[in-house]
């Protein structure tokens, strides 16, 4: 009897062991899948937050447009040109004037997603090939290029500088602040982001009246309207090249400035 009783006990032990093994493999598989899904969710959330920041820190476009219409007043001596940057007649502009300083804030395409559809007056995200096609070299024989860059486009920005005939000479860090002068931290994939970077390239000789060792490569300034860059950058440029010919590409009306030519479809 004892031997007969021991047999089913042995079989149950094997079955239990097999069941435990299957359960363990299933659990590990589910945990692995959970990690993969969480990484995908984190990546999507990061893109959403970056888009919200570009569109104005989670305010709706209607709210931004209404506020802009109520409060906006263009500087008296600015030269705004509302136009599609991709189809603008750059050749005609280049024949009329060569610029000492060019500033551009390209609407870099995030990750590997297709360009966003946007709205009537908002910039779409542009693939790198479209940004490359802007004839920057025709607009400047000698002078400086200031190009705003996002984290995953540093290498591309350096490549564009070289392709357009510029040598990297410096960079400027904008540390974003709140109205209480604290760092305005945003979300990032690994680290929280509280800054933007503007790369500086130079082509040919120094433009007339160019000064050296001016200003600072760090700007502490409050984060303001939709994609609005700090006024200190423009002041720095005007100190670097006094009485120069200044151009901003992909400009927005909240960055219009006296004695600057600003081209974009959000003016």
Q: In this structure, what token pair is assigned to residue 239?
A: 């100190």
Average pLDDT per block of 10 residues along the chain, 267 residues long: 46 57 72 74 68 55 46 86 95 97 93 44 76 96 97 94 97 94 85 94 96 95 86 97 97 93 92
User: What pLDDT shows up at residue 33?
Assistant: 79
User: What pLDDT shows up at residue 211?
Assistant: 96
Rounded Cα gap, residues 40 and 180, in angstroms = 35
Beta strands in 3-109 (DSSP E): 79-82, 101-104
Matching CATH number, 75-264, of 3.10.180.10, 3.40.50.150, 3.40.50.12160, 2.170.150.20: 3.40.50.150
| Element containing residue 23 per DSSP (H, E) | helix 2-55
Angle made by CA atoms 100, 105, 108, in degrees to the nearest 5: 140
The separation between the first and the last C-alpha atoms of the chain, rounded to the nearest angstrom, is 95
User: What pLDDT shows up at residue 45?
Assistant: 65
Rounded Cα gap, residues 262 and 258, in angstroms = 10
User: What pLDDT shows up at residue 5?
Assistant: 47
Q: In this structure, what token pair is assigned to residue 57?
A: 């820190």
Which residue matches tokens 């610029």?
99
Q: In this structure, what token pair is assigned to residue 141?
A: 């024989």
User: What pLDDT shows up at residue 62?
Assistant: 45
Full strand arrangement of the beta sheet holding 260-264: 79-82, 260-264, 246-249, 101-104, 143-149, 195-203, 167-177, 218-222
Which residue matches tokens 């400027």?
172
User: What pLDDT shows up at residue 27?
Assistant: 76
> Taking the mean position of all CA atoms in its chain, how far away is CA 80?
23
Q: In this structure, what token pair is assigned to residue 26?
A: 């299933």
> Taking the mean position of all CA atoms in its chain, how far away is CA 30?
36
User: What pLDDT shows up at residue 266?
Assistant: 85
Structural domain boundaries in the chain: 1-55, 75-264
User: What pLDDT shows up at residue 123?
Assistant: 58
Q: In this structure, what token pair is assigned to residue 210?
A: 């160019």
User: What pLDDT shows up at residue 53?
Assistant: 63
């Amino acid at each position: 009897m004892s031997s007969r009783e021991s047999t089913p006990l042995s079989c149950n032990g094997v079955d239990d062991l097999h069941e435990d093994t299957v359960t363990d493999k299933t659990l590990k598989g589910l945990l692995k899948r959970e990690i993969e899904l969480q990484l995908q969710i984190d990546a999507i959330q990061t893109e959403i937050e970056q888009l919200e920041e570009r569109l104005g820190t989670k305010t709706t476009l209607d709210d931004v447009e209404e506020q802009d219409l109520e409060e906006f007043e263009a500087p008296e001596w600015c030269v705004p040109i509302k136009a599609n940057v991709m189809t603008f007649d750059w050749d005609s502009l280049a024949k009329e004037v060569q610029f000492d300083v060019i500033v551009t804030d390209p609407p870099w395409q995030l990750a590997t997603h297709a360009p966003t559809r946007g709205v009537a007056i908002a910039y779409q995200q542009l693939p790198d090939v479209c940004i490359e096609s802007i004839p920057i070299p025709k607009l400047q024989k000698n002078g400086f290029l200031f190009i705003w860059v996002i984290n995953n486009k540093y290498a591309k920005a350096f490549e564009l500088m070289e392709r357009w005939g510029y040598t990297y000479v410096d960079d400027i860090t904008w540390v974003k602040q709140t109205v209480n002068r604290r760092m305005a931290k945003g979300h990032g994939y690994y680290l929280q982001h509280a800054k933007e970077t503007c790369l500086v390239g130079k082509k040919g000789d120094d433009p007339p009246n160019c000064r050296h060792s001016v200003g600072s490569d760090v700007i502490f300034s409050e984060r303001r309207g939709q994609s609005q860059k700090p006024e200190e950058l423009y002041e720095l440029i005007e100190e670097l090249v006094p009485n120069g010919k200044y151009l901003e590409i992909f400009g927005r009306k909240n960055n219009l400035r006296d004695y600057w030519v600003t081209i974009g479809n959000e003016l």
